[in-house]
Amino acid sequence: MKKTSLLDKLCIAITTLFGIGYAPLFSGTLASVVAVIVFLLIKTRLYFLIFTAISILLSFLLASRAEKIFKEKDCKKIVIDDFSGMLLALLLVPYDIRFVVCAFILFRVFDAFKIPPIDKIERLNGAAGVVGDDLMAGFYSLVALQIVRLFVR
Protein backbone atom coordinates (compact mmCIF):
# COMPACT_ATOMS: atom_id res chain seq x y z
CA MET A 1 0.00 0.00 0.00
CA LYS A 2 1.37 3.38 -1.02
CA LYS A 3 2.05 5.83 1.78
CA THR A 4 0.31 9.19 1.34
CA SER A 5 2.78 12.10 1.17
CA LEU A 6 2.43 15.21 3.29
CA LEU A 7 1.64 17.23 0.15
CA ASP A 8 -1.13 14.79 -0.80
CA LYS A 9 -2.56 15.00 2.73
CA LEU A 10 -2.52 18.79 2.53
CA CYS A 11 -4.16 18.66 -0.91
CA ILE A 12 -6.90 16.37 0.43
CA ALA A 13 -7.46 18.61 3.47
CA ILE A 14 -7.83 21.74 1.36
CA THR A 15 -9.88 20.28 -1.49
CA THR A 16 -12.29 18.53 0.90
CA LEU A 17 -12.52 21.77 2.87
CA PHE A 18 -11.00 20.09 5.91
CA GLY A 19 -13.34 17.11 5.81
CA ILE A 20 -16.62 18.62 4.64
CA GLY A 21 -16.26 16.69 1.38
CA TYR A 22 -16.62 13.46 3.33
CA ALA A 23 -20.18 14.29 4.41
CA PRO A 24 -22.40 11.46 3.16
CA LEU A 25 -25.01 13.83 1.69
CA PHE A 26 -24.97 17.34 0.23
CA SER A 27 -21.25 17.97 0.70
CA GLY A 28 -21.27 20.65 -2.03
CA THR A 29 -24.18 22.39 -0.34
CA LEU A 30 -22.38 22.25 3.01
CA ALA A 31 -19.28 23.79 1.40
CA SER A 32 -21.52 26.55 0.02
CA VAL A 33 -22.91 27.19 3.52
CA VAL A 34 -19.34 27.52 4.82
CA ALA A 35 -18.66 30.08 2.06
CA VAL A 36 -21.69 32.09 3.23
CA ILE A 37 -20.37 31.99 6.80
CA VAL A 38 -16.96 33.20 5.59
CA PHE A 39 -18.69 36.02 3.67
CA LEU A 40 -20.57 37.07 6.82
CA LEU A 41 -17.38 36.97 8.91
CA ILE A 42 -15.13 38.93 6.51
CA LYS A 43 -16.65 42.40 6.59
CA THR A 44 -13.97 44.17 4.54
CA ARG A 45 -14.60 43.94 0.79
CA LEU A 46 -10.91 43.96 -0.09
CA TYR A 47 -10.15 41.10 2.31
CA PHE A 48 -13.09 39.12 0.96
CA LEU A 49 -11.88 39.70 -2.62
CA ILE A 50 -8.37 38.53 -1.68
CA PHE A 51 -9.75 35.49 0.16
CA THR A 52 -11.93 34.62 -2.86
CA ALA A 53 -9.01 34.98 -5.27
CA ILE A 54 -6.82 32.71 -3.12
CA SER A 55 -9.60 30.13 -2.87
CA ILE A 56 -10.09 30.12 -6.66
CA LEU A 57 -6.34 29.86 -7.24
CA LEU A 58 -6.05 26.93 -4.79
CA SER A 59 -9.04 25.28 -6.46
CA PHE A 60 -7.34 25.33 -9.85
CA LEU A 61 -3.95 24.33 -8.46
CA LEU A 62 -5.18 21.39 -6.39
CA ALA A 63 -8.30 19.92 -8.04
CA SER A 64 -6.45 17.86 -10.65
CA ARG A 65 -4.09 16.46 -8.03
CA ALA A 66 -7.06 15.60 -5.79
CA GLU A 67 -8.75 13.77 -8.68
CA LYS A 68 -5.62 11.67 -9.10
CA ILE A 69 -5.42 10.96 -5.36
CA PHE A 70 -9.09 9.92 -5.21
CA LYS A 71 -8.80 8.16 -8.61
CA GLU A 72 -12.14 9.61 -9.69
CA LYS A 73 -13.09 12.36 -12.15
CA ASP A 74 -14.80 15.26 -10.37
CA CYS A 75 -14.89 13.29 -7.13
CA LYS A 76 -17.73 14.44 -4.86
CA LYS A 77 -15.28 14.69 -1.95
CA ILE A 78 -13.64 17.64 -3.72
CA VAL A 79 -15.74 20.60 -2.54
CA ILE A 80 -13.33 23.53 -2.76
CA ASP A 81 -14.88 24.16 -6.18
CA ASP A 82 -18.36 24.62 -4.65
CA PHE A 83 -16.84 26.80 -1.93
CA SER A 84 -15.03 29.00 -4.47
CA GLY A 85 -18.07 29.25 -6.75
CA MET A 86 -20.22 30.38 -3.83
CA LEU A 87 -17.60 32.95 -2.82
CA LEU A 88 -17.70 34.31 -6.37
CA ALA A 89 -21.50 34.50 -6.25
CA LEU A 90 -21.22 36.62 -3.08
CA LEU A 91 -18.44 38.88 -4.35
CA LEU A 92 -20.53 42.04 -4.91
CA VAL A 93 -23.53 41.14 -2.77
CA PRO A 94 -24.52 43.63 -0.07
CA TYR A 95 -24.45 42.43 3.54
CA ASP A 96 -28.23 42.00 3.43
CA ILE A 97 -29.73 38.62 4.33
CA ARG A 98 -32.16 38.77 1.38
CA PHE A 99 -29.31 39.01 -1.10
CA VAL A 100 -27.19 36.42 0.72
CA VAL A 101 -30.05 33.89 0.70
CA CYS A 102 -30.79 34.64 -2.97
CA ALA A 103 -27.10 34.22 -3.84
CA PHE A 104 -27.05 30.84 -2.12
CA ILE A 105 -30.23 29.62 -3.83
CA LEU A 106 -29.19 30.89 -7.26
CA PHE A 107 -25.75 29.34 -6.99
CA ARG A 108 -27.13 25.94 -5.96
CA VAL A 109 -29.74 26.05 -8.77
CA PHE A 110 -27.23 27.04 -11.45
CA ASP A 111 -24.79 24.41 -10.17
CA ALA A 112 -27.44 21.67 -10.08
CA PHE A 113 -29.08 22.33 -13.44
CA LYS A 114 -25.88 23.02 -15.40
CA ILE A 115 -27.33 25.71 -17.65
CA PRO A 116 -25.17 26.11 -20.80
CA PRO A 117 -22.25 26.55 -21.05
CA ILE A 118 -21.86 25.11 -17.52
CA ASP A 119 -22.73 21.66 -18.88
CA LYS A 120 -19.91 21.86 -21.44
CA ILE A 121 -17.39 23.27 -18.97
CA GLU A 122 -18.09 20.41 -16.56
CA ARG A 123 -16.96 17.90 -19.22
CA LEU A 124 -13.49 19.43 -19.49
CA ASN A 125 -10.60 17.41 -18.06
CA GLY A 126 -8.88 18.17 -14.78
CA ALA A 127 -9.26 21.32 -12.78
CA ALA A 128 -10.87 23.17 -15.71
CA GLY A 129 -13.89 20.85 -15.50
CA VAL A 130 -13.95 20.39 -11.73
CA VAL A 131 -13.68 24.08 -10.89
CA GLY A 132 -14.85 25.79 -14.09
CA ASP A 133 -18.50 24.72 -13.87
CA ASP A 134 -18.82 25.97 -10.29
CA LEU A 135 -17.17 29.27 -11.11
CA MET A 136 -19.55 29.73 -14.03
CA ALA A 137 -22.51 28.99 -11.72
CA GLY A 138 -21.09 31.57 -9.31
CA PHE A 139 -20.66 34.05 -12.14
CA TYR A 140 -24.26 33.53 -13.32
CA SER A 141 -25.46 34.10 -9.75
CA LEU A 142 -23.32 37.22 -9.41
CA VAL A 143 -24.69 38.72 -12.63
CA ALA A 144 -28.30 37.84 -11.79
CA LEU A 145 -28.00 39.48 -8.37
CA GLN A 146 -26.44 42.62 -9.82
CA ILE A 147 -29.39 42.91 -12.21
CA VAL A 148 -31.79 42.51 -9.27
CA ARG A 149 -29.86 45.20 -7.34
CA LEU A 150 -30.63 47.66 -10.12
CA PHE A 151 -34.33 47.36 -9.31
CA VAL A 152 -34.30 46.74 -5.53
CA ARG A 153 -33.11 49.31 -3.07
- DSSP for 124-140 reads SSHHHHHHHHHHHHHHH
Amino acid 28: pLDDT: 96
Q: Where are the alpha helices (DSSP H) in 17-95?
A: 27-41, 45-70, 80-89
pTM of the model: 0.94
Amino acid 20: pLDDT: 97
Amino acid 3: pLDDT: 78
CA distance 13 to 99: 30
CA distance 44 to 47: 5
Amino acid 105: pLDDT: 98
**Residues 6 or more apart whose Cβ sits within 8 Å of residue 75:** 66, 67
- pLDDT digits (tens), the chain, 153 positions: 567 899 999 999 999 999 999 999 999 999 999 999 999 999 999 999 999 999 999 999 999 999 999 999 889 999 999 999 999 999 999 999 999 999 999 999 999 999 999 999 989 998 999 999 999 999 999 999 999 999 876
